[in-house]
């Protein structure tokens, strides 16, 4: 097998019932060139959501080479591998996402992506513009170490390689929600799940955490304002859906500014698309608005679910128009929520792995993650790992989901160590 040499590579390293963080760090250092090789392969060969066929095949082949029980085709293209220590203990799940994005890469790398794919019927460039290539490589690295030292473990580990985190193509379902529905957290039942995301604006070597909500729930919505068409020269003959829509947009902003207790947490209501009318001198029959809601607590989410249609309908009625509200529009993710007591329990693992000075209590972000579907079923932690070279100014650090996106290979070693140590320590604490 292509990867058999890894067994010999790691066999000389220390074994003990409870592996020390220094042992894991040493193993991760020796394994790092292979982790980088995996990352470069994934980066050069990205695939879009629900189309990760070759990616899944590559992962499954390697996980089988470790002697694990491997299941493919989970939620269409997902891969799940199980490591059984042969001893009773908890079931720990570790997750990495697999999909790339329809983004043209503009970073000049030897392992740059030139791949093409099809997105909603159109040919598009494909790039790992959010770091999922590193997530897969880090999880494979952790799997290698944990498998080599399984005599030191108790219980089982589920390695979950998830498709379609960025959202399934139009007309399809996918991602963590589908994996959960298909029973990925069952047989055997998972006790805890850990995941991480590399971050292009956090220094290599640092890890960010947060108790409670760390990433927002996301709920797209659509509003259709129905009025009465008329000539633009005679607006009194119309029920103007454009003017009504303008008032709706402004009215929706008062939900966050006047109804949400922002000293506790952020919330966002954004209208991102407005379509209506075809000519300058025709007032149309209807206007369509599409937007997104981001919240960091169930209470805020529930409040906006009630408030948004109430405001839209009241404004429309005041103008003599009618409104149709669809909420959620299609996909909908809950809050990515780090269970506070679990965060307290595992925080020492972060400190011993990265060093106290490199462990940062971060603010929540209004970005969203479907890892939250796993956390709705079992306790879980989601962390951010640094991928920005230390000599790169923050002002020059590229954003995720852009053609300029870049994270450094050196950031992955900490991710491998964290996934490994979180698993070992959780098993040690929950015999």
Name which CATH class applies to 217-326. Answer: alpha beta
Q: Are 153 and 17 in contact (CB under 8 A)?
A: no
- State the pLDDT at residue 378: 98
Q: Which residues are catalytic?
A: 99, 165
- pLDDT value, residue 21: 77
Distances (CA, A) of 19 to 152, 222, 425: 7, 52, 9
Distance, in Å, from the CA atom of 147 to the CA atom of 344, rounded to the nearest integer, reads: 27
In this predicted structure, what is the pLDDT of residue 12? 43
The pLDDT assigned to 265 comes to 86
Tell me the two tokens of residue 26. Answer: 């040493």
Give the model's pLDDT for residue 263.
Answer: 84
pLDDT in tens, the chain (431 residues): 344 444 444 444 444 334 677 899 999 999 999 999 999 999 999 999 999 999 999 999 999 999 999 999 999 999 999 999 999 999 999 999 999 999 999 999 999 999 999 998 999 999 999 999 999 999 999 999 999 999 999 999 999 999 999 999 989 999 999 999 999 999 999 999 999 999 999 999 999 999 999 999 999 999 999 999 999 999 999 999 999 999 999 999 999 999 999 888 899 999 999 999 999 999 999 999 999 999 999 999 999 999 999 999 999 999 999 999 999 998 899 999 999 999 999 999 999 999 999 999 999 999 999 999 999 999 999 999 999 999 999 999 999 999 999 999 999 999 999 999 999 999 999 98
Question: In the chain, which residues fall in CATH 3.40.630.10?
Answer: 5-216+335-429
Instruction: Let me know: does 166 contact 144? Beta carbons within 8 Å.
Output: no
Residues 5-216+335-429, CATH architecture: 3-Layer(aba) Sandwich (3.40)
Q: Please name which of 402, 360, 386, 377 lies closest in space to residue 128, comparing C-alpha atoms.
A: 402
Residue 379 pLDDT: 98
Which pLDDT score, from 0 to 100, does residue 19 have?
66
pLDDT value at residue 314:
98
What's the predicted TM-score (pTM) here?
Answer: 0.91
Q: State the Cα–Cα distance between residues 3 and 283, nearest whole angstrom.
A: 67
What is the DSSP secondary-structure string of 85-119?
-SS---EEEEEEE---BS----S--TT----EEEE
**Which residues, at least 6 apart from 89, have a Cβ–Cβ distance to it below 8 Å?**
153, 154, 155, 156, 427, 430, 431
Nearest CA-CA partner of 344 in 183, 212, 222: 212
pLDDT of the residue at 330: 84
- What is the predicted pLDDT for the residue at 335? 96
Cite the residue boundaries of each domain of the chain with CATH code 3.30.70.360.
217-326
């Amino acid at each position: 097998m292509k990867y058999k040499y890894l067994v010999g590579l790691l066999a000389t390293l220390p074994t003990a019932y409870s592996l020390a963080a220094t042992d894991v760090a040493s193993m991760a250092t020796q394994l790092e060139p292979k982790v980088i090789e995996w990352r470069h392969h994934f980066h050069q060969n990205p695939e879009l959501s629900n189309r990760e066929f070759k990616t899944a095949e590559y992962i499954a082949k390697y996980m089988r080479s470790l002697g694990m029980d491997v299941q493919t085709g989970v939620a269409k293209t997902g891969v799940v591998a199980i490591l059984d220590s042969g001893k009773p203990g908890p079931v720990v799940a570790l997750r990495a996402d697999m999909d790339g994005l329809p983004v043209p890469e503009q970073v000049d790398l030897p392992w740059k992506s030139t791949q093409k794919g099809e997105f909603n019927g159109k040919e598009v460039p494909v790039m790992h513009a959010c770091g999922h290539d590193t997530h897969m490589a880090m999880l494979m690295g952790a799997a290698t170490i944990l498998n080599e030292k399984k005599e030191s473990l108790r219980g089982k580990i589920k390695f979950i390689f998830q498709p379609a985190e960025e959202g399934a193509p139009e007309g399809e379902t996918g991602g963590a929600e589908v994996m959960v529905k298909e029973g990925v957290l069952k047989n055997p039942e998972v006790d805890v799940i850990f995941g991480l995301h590399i971050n292009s604006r956090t220094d290599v070597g640092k890890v960010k955490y947060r108790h409670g909500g760390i990433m927002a729930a996301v709920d797209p919505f659509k509003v259709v304002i129905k009025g009465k068409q008329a000539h633009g020269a005679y607006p009194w003959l119309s029920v103007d859906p454009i003017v009504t829509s303008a008032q709706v947009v402004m009215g929706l902003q008062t939900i966050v500014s006047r109804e949400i207790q922002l000293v506790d947490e952020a919330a966002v209501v954004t209208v991102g698309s407005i379509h209506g009318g075809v000519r300058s001198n025709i007032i149309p029959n209807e206007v369509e608005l599409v937007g997104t809601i981001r919240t960091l607590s169930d209470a805020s989410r529930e409040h906006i679910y009630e408030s948004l249609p109430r405001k839209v309908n009241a404004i429309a009625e005041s103008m003599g128009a009618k409104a149709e509200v669809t909420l959620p529009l299609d996909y909908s993710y809950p809050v990515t929520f780090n269970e506070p007591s679990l965060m307290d329990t595992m925080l020492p693992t972060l400190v011993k792995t990265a060093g106290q000075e490199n462990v940062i209590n971060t603010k929540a972000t209004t970005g969203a993650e479907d890892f939250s579907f796993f956390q709705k079923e079992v306790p879980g932690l989601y962390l951010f790992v640094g991928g920005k070279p230390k000599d790169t100014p923050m002002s020059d650090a590229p954003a995720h989901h852009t053609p300029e996106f870049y994270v450094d290979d050196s950031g992955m070693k900490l991710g491998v160590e964290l996934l490994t140590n979180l698993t070992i320590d959780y098993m040690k604490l929950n015999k």
